[in-house]
Structure 1
Amino acid sequence: MSDFILTALQYYGAGVAVLAALIVALDLGRRITGWAFVLFVTSSLALIAWGFLAEDSEGIGWQNIALLAINAAGVYRYLIRKKEPA
């Protein structure tokens, strides 16, 4: 795998995770928070790829497999599931 692609995966994953965390922290509403979780999913996918393709980075890959499941739950909760009536 080329160094450029590995570097792009690494920095995309890190940068998008920071952006998604900022969006969640700003609490801009249910739908926007859901889209932040979509960003988290893309970040996790990039970091899984980077973690298993780069040398000595498997820990990040495994961590992001777990985070991918958590982020998918966030997408389901905020974008797919109908909010229960109060």
Structure 2
Amino acid sequence: MNGPLEWIAAIGTMLAAGTIAADLGRKATGWGFILFCAVSVIWIVSGLTTDAMPIAAMNAILLLINAWGVWQYLLSRKNRKVMERIEPIEEAIEEEVEAEEERAPAG
């Protein structure tokens, strides 16, 4: 291992993890899961072509988990409807919390 395919997959994995960790909203998180799906496929191909079966098997399972994440964040009609109703309330709550944090004594 350690060829260009692995480097692409490694960089993509880090970008996907950073996108999800950044908590930039449902769409960004959904796109992070799409990127995770893409790099899982690359890792599977890499594992199969270099005889690294544990890598291929692990990423086959991760592909399923990440596909579920895509469903949850981008494709589920029910979840989208719920989030459309929650988003305006969420923004107000975030503003309240920020105001509380500014008033709270440091420590």
Q: TM-score range by the shorter chain?
A: 0.7 to 0.9
Aligned residues: 81
Runs (5+) with no aligned partner, structure 1: none
Structure exhibiting the larger radius of gyration computed from Cα positions: 2
**1:26 alignment partner AA:** A
Which of 11, 20, 24 matches 2:20? 24
Does the alignment pair 1:81 with 2:73?
Answer: no
2:72 equivalent to 1:45: no
State the 4+ residue runs in structure 1 displaced beyond 6 angstroms: none
1:41-63 deviation per Cα after TM superposition (whole angstroms, max 9, x unaligned): 011000000001013x1110000
Structure 2 residue runs without a partner (length 5+): 87-107
| Identity value in percent | 37
Paired amino acid for 2:70: V
SS across alignment from 1:23: helix
The one-letter code sitting in structure 2 at the alignment partner of 1:28 is L
Matches of 1:65 and 1:45 in 2, distance apart? 8
Higher relative contact order (CA 8 A, sep 6+): 1
Residue type of the partner of 2:9?
G
Match status 1:69 vs 2:64: yes
Find the aligned partners of 2:3 and 2:40 in 1 and give their Cα distance.
15
Letter in 1 for 2:75: I
Aligned to 2:93: none
